[in-house]
């Protein structure tokens, strides 16, 4: 009897080109390399300096999302990109992709979008693949049973040149999620609760496998939200075993296998499940039925409580006190009823169609509160068109929210979409770090429903008030 293996073990073993030894890490083959404008220019320079081609153009896919504007006029309206350095970076990716022959879904391509949203949307993200990108939220793709993790620019260069990375096998971490999420509680609330439990360094050095009935019940959009934030718990990757939900999502997508190849692929993917008795270096269990809508109050995603909760007290903890001072919050203060000035619904965490539907369900027939700026940014141009066809965009515009072109937008302050100093922003993104959304910006991370509820009330609000 062969030793039982985890999903992670199986995907890892399939990609070992040269096994690791005491002296050398493994050479690990990469099936899909996603490239974007921010973390690739210096890597292409290395190829150029050493006279190297891209080894596998068929395994390399580029797009632009981080520094691109979301203002329609700057993309389709003939206006130049306002931020000069961003315009230069976008241009550099165009030049690099043309010179090396890389497939680029460029600024005006109707398949463009946030890199972690379009990989799955195009069907390029598939079970059992190794997937890397110069972006920490590459963990998103693990929702399909892929081993997907973020790398730095030097490693982007390695993968362009050799299609491989040097890696030590990480440790494994099983997170069993029992029960079912209650009505009005979302995948975002689940992953925030998990990070609150394990801490922002709880997953360091590990690959997480999320499993159990609550995970199996999630849609692919929801599974992506969970895996996306694995990195906020310190883990480079999070994985979920592929199942019928996964196959149904992928069937018919442009890069997915078709015909007899489809049947063969599904038969293979079905083997990518953790065997009974497989070893994990660490394991915890969480009861989904006890989770409530969550919101962060501090300056890392582990500083999280329920929307109806209060800011905890940690006497004598200077770092905690500094974080609260930045946030303008007091220990013991209730978060519900905290006034907000900005609401951002978007990012690789929560800008898929079902996220926009959740927000629209709250905003339909209602208005964004006076004094609140609500920015709604679809994760891809395809999602934008779908949301427009379904009437969601009209709901948003009728409510007074801004409806934009796709991109990373207000998740990080490098494309012109910014939160002003001192403002509170309820955001569906993934990081509440100091200054992440703009200098002095105060980020409260939450689900699309909670963000939409805050937009309507102008205060942090339990979205279950709007249910039914």
Partner 1 sequence: MQPITVIRSRTVVLPSSNIDTDQIIPARFLTTTVREGLGVSLFADWRYDGNGRPRPDFVLNQPQAAGCQVLVAGRNIGCGSSREHAPWALLDHGFRAVISTEIADIFRSNSLKNGLLPIVVDEETHGWLLAHPGVEVEIDLPASTLRLPDGRSSRFPIEAFARYCLTHGIDELGYLLQQQPAIADYERARGDAR
Which one among 70, 163, 305, 427 touches partner 1, defined by CB under 8 A?
163
Cross-strand partners of 445: 427
Which one among 154, 285, 290, 330 touches partner 1, defined by CB under 8 A?
154
| Contacting range for partner 1; rule: CB under 8 A; set: 50-58, 106-114, 264-272, 306-314 | 50-58
| Residue list 292-311, contact with partner 1 (CB under 8 A) | 300
| Measured distance CA(162)–CA(33) in Å, rounded | 11
CB of 64 to partner 1, least distance (A): 12
Q: Does residue number 9 form part of the binding site for partner 1 (CB under 8 A)?
A: no
CA angle 164, 170, 172 (to 5 degrees): 135
Q: Does residue number 201 form part of the binding site for partner 1 (CB under 8 A)?
A: yes
Query: What is the H or E stretch that residue 105 is in?
Result: strand 103-105
Q: Does residue number 276 form part of the binding site for partner 1 (CB under 8 A)?
A: no
Indicate the residue among 6 and 139 with the shorter CB distance to partner 1: 139
| Contacting range for partner 1; rule: CB under 8 A; set: 111-119, 181-189, 247-255, 434-442 | 434-442
CB of 234 to partner 1, least distance (A): 6
| Measured distance CA(400)–CA(372) in Å, rounded | 9
Which one among 5, 33, 436, 442 touches partner 1, defined by CB under 8 A?
436
Q: Does residue number 41 form part of the binding site for partner 1 (CB under 8 A)?
A: yes
CB of 162 to partner 1, least distance (A): 5
Alpha-carbon distances of 442 from 228, 434, 453, rounded to whole Å = 22, 7, 18
Locate 217 and state its tokens. Answer: 């019940």
Question: DSSP class of residue 57?
Answer: G
142: CB partners within 8 A, 6+ apart: 148, 227, 230, 237, 238, 239, 240
Q: Does residue number 169 form part of the binding site for partner 1 (CB under 8 A)?
A: no
Which one among 1, 3, 22, 183 touches partner 1, defined by CB under 8 A?
22
| Measured distance CA(254)–CA(250) in Å, rounded | 9
| Measured distance CA(439)–CA(432) in Å, rounded | 12
161, with CB counted inside 10 A (0-12, 13-18, 19+), is middle
CB of 24 to partner 1, least distance (A): 5
Q: Which residue bears the tokens 């009897």? A: 1
Residues that bind partner 1 in the complex, under the rule CB under 8 A = 17-18, 22-25, 27, 29, 38-39, 41-42, 45-46, 50, 52, 55-56, 66-67, 83, 85-86, 88-89, 92, 134-136, 150-155, 157-158, 161-164, 166, 168, 170, 200-201, 204-205, 231-232, 234, 236, 300, 318-319, 322, 412-414, 421, 431, 433-436, 439
């Amino acid at each position: 009897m062969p030793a039982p293996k985890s999903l992670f073990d199986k995907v890892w073993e399939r990609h070992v080109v040269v096994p690791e030894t005491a002296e050398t890490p493994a050479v690990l083959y990469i099936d899909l390399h996603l490239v974007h404008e921010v973390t690739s220019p210096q890597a292409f320079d290395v190829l150029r300096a050493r006279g190297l081609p891209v080894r596998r153009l068929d395994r390399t896919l580029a797009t632009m999302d981080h520094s691109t504007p979301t203002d329609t006029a700057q993309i389709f309206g003939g206006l130049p990109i306002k931020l000069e350095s961003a315009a230069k970076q976008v241009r550099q990716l165009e030049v690099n992709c043309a010179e090396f022959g890389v497939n680029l879904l460029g600024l005006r391509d109707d398949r463009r979008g946030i890199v972690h949203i379009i990989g799955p949307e195009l069907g390029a993200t598939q079970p059992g693949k190794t997937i890397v990108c110069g972006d920490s939220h590459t963990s998103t793709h693990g929702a399909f049973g892929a081993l997907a993790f973020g790398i730095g620019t030097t490693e982007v260069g390695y993968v362009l040149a050799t299609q491989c990375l040097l890696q030590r096998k990480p440790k494994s971490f099983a997170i069993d999620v029992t029960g079912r999420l209650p009505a009005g509680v979302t995948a975002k609330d689940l992953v925030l609760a998990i990070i609150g439990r394990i801490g922002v360094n709880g997953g360091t050095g590990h690959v997480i496998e999320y499993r159990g009935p609550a995970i199996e019940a999630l849609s692919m959009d929801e599974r992506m939200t969970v895996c996306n934030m694995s990195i906020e718990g310190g883990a480079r990757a999070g994985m979920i075993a592929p199942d019928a939900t996964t196959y149904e999502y992928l069937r018919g997508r442009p890069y997915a296998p078709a015909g007899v190849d489809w049947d063969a692929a599904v038969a293979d993917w079905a083997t990518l499940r953790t065997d009974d008795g497989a070893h994990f270096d660490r394991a915890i269990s969480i009861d989904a039925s006890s989770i409530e809508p969550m919101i962060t109050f501090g300056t890392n995603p582990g500083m999280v409580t329920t929307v109806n909760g209060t800011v905890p007290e940690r006497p004598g903890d200077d770092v905690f006190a500094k974080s609260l001072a930045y946030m303008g919050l007091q220990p013991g203060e209730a978060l519900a009823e905290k006034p907000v000035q900005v609401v951002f619904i978007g990012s690789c965490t929560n800008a898929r169609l079902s996220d926009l539907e959740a927000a629209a369900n709250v905003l339909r027939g209602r208005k964004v509160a006076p004094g609140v700026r609500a920015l709604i940014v679809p994760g891809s141009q395809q999602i934008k068109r779908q949301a427009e066809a379904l009437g969601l965009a009209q709901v948003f515009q009728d409510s007074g929210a801004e409806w934009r072109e796709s991109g990373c937008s207000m998740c990080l302050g490098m494309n012109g979409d910014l939160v002003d100093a001192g403002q509170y922003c309820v955001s569906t993104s993934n990081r509440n770090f100091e200054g992440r959304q703009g200098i002095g910006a105060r980020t409260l991370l939450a689900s699309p429903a909670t963000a939409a509820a805050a937009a309507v009330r102008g205060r942090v609000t339990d979205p279950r008030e709007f249910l039914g």
